[in-house]
Amino acid sequence: MKSLIVIKKILGNIKKIYTEMRKVTWPTRSELINSTIVVIIISAIVAVIIYIFDRFFSTILALILS
C-alpha cells in the first residue's frame, strides 16, 4: 500500500515536470552556439588571468624563500 502511494507521488511529479518543461522557451541553435562561444572565450580569458597570477605569486614566493 505504501509503495503504491510512493509510485503515485513519483508519477505526479513527473507530470508536473513535463508540464513545466512545455513552458520553457528553448534557445535557437544560433543563440546556443553564440552563448557557447562566449562561455568558451570567457573561460579561456579567466584561465589566462589565473595562470598569470599564479606565475607572479610563485615567483614572488620563490624570491622570498630563497
Cβ contacts of 35 within 8 Å, gap of 6 or more: 27
Domain ranges in the chain are 2-65
Tell me what percent of the residues of the chain surpass a pLDDT of 70. 100
**Who has greater pLDDT, 51 or 2?**
51
pLDDT of residue 58: 97
DSSP single-letter state for residue 61: H
Position 32 scores a pLDDT of 97
pTM equals 0.65
Average pLDDT on 8-29 reads 95
- The three cell numbers of residue 29 are 541553435
- Per the prediction, the chain carries an average pLDDT of 95
- Cell numbers representing residue 25 in the block: 522557451
